[in-house]
Amino acid sequence: MAPVISIRGLSKTYASGLQALKPLDLDIERGEIFALLGPNGAGKTTMISIVCGLVTPSAGTVTVDGHDILRDYRQVRRKIGLVPQELHTDQFESVFATTMFSRGLFGCPRDPSYVEKVLRDLSLWDKRGAKIRELSGGMKRRVMIAKALAHEPEVLFLDEPTAGVDVELRRDMWELVRRLRERGVTIILTTHYIEEAEEMADRVGVINRGELILAEEKNALMAKLGKKELTLQLAEPLAAIPPELSEWNLALNQDGHELQYIFDAKADRTGIPSLLARLRDHGIAFKDLNTRQSSLEDIFVSLVSDRRGE
C-alpha cells in the first residue's frame, strides 16, 4: 500500500540562519503509529509544523495521500489533525463550542452527535459546558485532542502528547491512541519519553540536529541494536578479571563484587554456558545472576551520543 505521508528532500532553514532540518526523506505507512524521538531542538516540531502548514519549507516536497501539501492544501489539511505541544486554548469558550468551532474550521458541517462522541471518548462530556479556563492542565490537553479529532482526520499528529501529564492520564492517552489506530487513523507522535515510543510505536524514527538518523520497525530496531547484559553477583569479590576469562567481554563492577558480561542477544552462540562452565572450573562462585535486554532508551542514547562525537 502506498504510504500515507511521503517526505522527500525536506529541509528548513529559518530566517535566523538556523538549519532546523537537513534534507530528509521519510515515509509514513497508513495506519501505523510512528514515534519520532529526539532531544529538544532536534527538529521534530519543525517537521510536523511543515506538514501541517504552520511553517513554510525551504526545499523538498511532502505529499499526503498523494496530494502536495502546498498545491493541494485543502485536501491535505482536511485529512490531518494536529495537537501541538503547548496548551493553546480559547480560555473563554466552552468545551463543546470550541470543539464544534474546530469542526467548522476544517469545513465539516455541524454535527452535534459526532462532537458528542468525540467528547465522550475523551471523558469530556461531563465538562462540555465548562469554560476551558476552568479546566485542569490534563483536561485542557484532552480538549486539544478533541479539537484535533473534530473533523474526523485520517492522520493525527501528537506533538509531545504526554509532556507534563500525570501517569494516569498518560495511560489514558496511550489507550486512546491505540483505539484511534484500530479505527485506521495513522498516528505520528513526537516524544522524548522513550518509554512511550517503546510502549506504543510500530516504527521509530530518531532525529537529531535536524537529521533523521534512522526510521525502523521498533522490534527490528531493538533486535538489531539490542544488547543483552548478564550480571553475576559474586560470592567472593575479585581483585581483577582472571586471564582465563579474557575471551569473554567482561567487566568488573562494585569493587569486584559484580561481574558483567555484555553479549549480542541475536547471536547463535551467546557464550553463556561456556562462561559459566569456566567459572565453575576456576572455583568462582556466584550468589545470583540476572540478564537484562537494553531498552530503546539505551539505543537512543548511544545513537545520539555517537553522532555528537563525530
Partner 1 sequence: MNFNAQGVWAIYRFEMHRFMRTLWTGLAVPVITTSLYFIVFGAAIGSRMTEIGGVPYGSFIVPGLMMLSMFTESIFNASFGIHMPRFTGTIYELLSAPLSPLEIVLGYVGAAATKSITVALVILATANLFVDVTIAHPLPMILFLVLIAATFCLFGFIIGIWAKGFEQLQVIPLLIVTPLTFLGGAFYSIDMLPEPWRTATLFNPVVYLISGFRWTFFGTSDVGVWISLTATFGFFLLCLVIVGWIFRTGYRLKS
The distance of closest approach from Cβ of residue 1 to partner 1 in the complex, given in angstroms and rounded to an integer, is: 24
Q: Are 188 and 156 in contact (CB under 8 A)?
A: yes
Length of the chain: 310
Instruction: Report the C-alpha gap between 296 and 218 in whole angstroms.
Output: 9
Task: Report the residue number, 100 or 139, with the smaller CB distance to partner 1.
Answer: 100
The distance of closest approach from Cβ of residue 183 to partner 1 in the complex, given in angstroms and rounded to an integer, is: 21
Interface with partner 1 by CB under 8 A: which residues?
14-15, 52-56, 73-78, 80, 82, 84, 86, 88-93, 97, 100-110, 147
The distance of closest approach from Cβ of residue 185 to partner 1 in the complex, given in angstroms and rounded to an integer, is: 16
Task: Report the residue number, 65 or 198, with the smaller CB distance to partner 1.
Answer: 65
The distance of closest approach from Cβ of residue 56 to partner 1 in the complex, given in angstroms and rounded to an integer, is: 5
Task: Report the residue number, 144 or 165, with the smaller CB distance to partner 1.
Answer: 144
Instruction: Report the C-alpha gap between 88 and 5 in whole angstroms.
Output: 26
Q: Are 136 and 105 in contact (CB under 8 A)?
A: no
Task: Report the residue number, 10 or 275, with the smaller CB distance to partner 1.
Answer: 10
Q: Are 85 and 137 in contact (CB under 8 A)?
A: no
The distance of closest approach from Cβ of residue 186 to partner 1 in the complex, given in angstroms and rounded to an integer, is: 16
Alpha helical stretches, state H, 162-288 = 167-182, 194-200, 218-225, 272-281
Q: Are 174 and 196 in contact (CB under 8 A)?
A: yes
Using alpha carbons only, what angle is made at residue 155 by residues 38 and 32, rounded to the nearest 5 degrees? 65
Task: Report the residue number, 14 or 126, with the smaller CB distance to partner 1.
Answer: 14
Q: Are 241 and 302 in contact (CB under 8 A)?
A: no
The distance of closest approach from Cβ of residue 15 to partner 1 in the complex, given in angstroms and rounded to an integer, is: 7
The distance of closest approach from Cβ of residue 151 to partner 1 in the complex, given in angstroms and rounded to an integer, is: 9
**Rg of the chain taking only CA atoms, in angstroms:** 24
CA separation, residue 80 to residues 150, 199, 233 (Å):
11, 24, 53
Task: Report the residue number, 157 or 261, with the smaller CB distance to partner 1.
Answer: 157
Q: Are 43 and 207 in contact (CB under 8 A)?
A: yes
Q: Are 8 and 25 in contact (CB under 8 A)?
A: yes
Task: Report the residue number, 55 or 238, with the smaller CB distance to partner 1.
Answer: 55
